């Protein structure tokens, strides 16, 4: 399901035009991203938690060139599903 299909679905269920549905989705995304950026995590409705995780720096060995590389730390946005969702999709 891509963004367009999602938009159409929302429009259908809520009873608004697709344009408004798109705006609603945008507003929702705005809330989620700002929360993620400011607080590091966001409860994504009842689906799960969007969370910023910090990956430690690590060394990597390239067996072809025989060189050690130092990979810097990284922040990654991850998602942890709720158990209810797990039951729903299984």
Partner 1 sequence: MTKETIIKELKKVAGADKDKARLFADVIRDIIVEGLTSDGIVKIKGLGTFKVIEVKARKSVNVNTGAEIEIAAHKKVTFTAENQLADEVNEPFSNMEVVNLGESGETVKKEKKPAEEKPAVAEKEIEKVPETSDADIPKEDEAMRRLDEDAESLKGILAMINGPLTVNQENQEAEPEQIEPVVNSTIHDEQEEEVVEQKQPVKPLALAVTYESDEPVASVPVVSHESLQTVVPEKNYESTMQTRPQSIDLGPAPKIKSNYWKTVAIIVALLLSGGVAVWYLFLSDNALDFGRGSKRITKMEKPKMSAEEKEKARQVELERIKEEAREMGNDEDDSTYVYTGIKKPGNNEPLPDGNALAVVRVKDGDRLMSLSKQYYGHKMFWVYIYEANIKKLRSPNDLQVGMQLVIPRLDPKLTDIENVESMEKAARMEARYLGN
CB of 16 vs partner 1, minimal distance in Å: 6
58 binds partner 1 (CB under 8 A): no
CA 14 → CA 30, 45, 46, distances in Å?
Answer: 20, 17, 18
> Considering the complex, what minimum distance in angstroms separates the CB of residue 58 from partner 1?
11
Instruction: Tell me the per-residue interface mask from 32 to 51 with partner 1, x by CB under 8 A, - otherwise.
Output: xx-xxx----xxxxxxx-x-
Compute the 3-state secondary structure of the chain and give helix, strand, coil in percent, each to the nearest 5: 45, 35, 20
18 binds partner 1 (CB under 8 A): no
Residue 73 gets which letter from DSSP? Answer: P
Does residue 31 interact with partner 1 by CB under 8 A?
Answer: yes
> Which of residues 38, 56, 59, 64 is near partner 1 by CB under 8 A?
59
């Amino acid at each position: 399901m891509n963004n367009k299909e999602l938009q159409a679905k929302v429009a259908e269920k809520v009873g608004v035009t697709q344009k408004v549905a798109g705006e609603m989705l945008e507003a929702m995304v705005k809330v989620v991203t700002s929360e993620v950026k400011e607080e590091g995590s966001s409860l994504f409705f009842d689906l799960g938690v969007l969370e910023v995780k910090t990956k430690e720096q690590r060394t990597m060995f390239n067996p072809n060139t025989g060189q050690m590389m130092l990979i810097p730390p990284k922040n990654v946005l991850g998602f942890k599903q709720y158990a209810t969702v797990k039951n729903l999709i299984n």
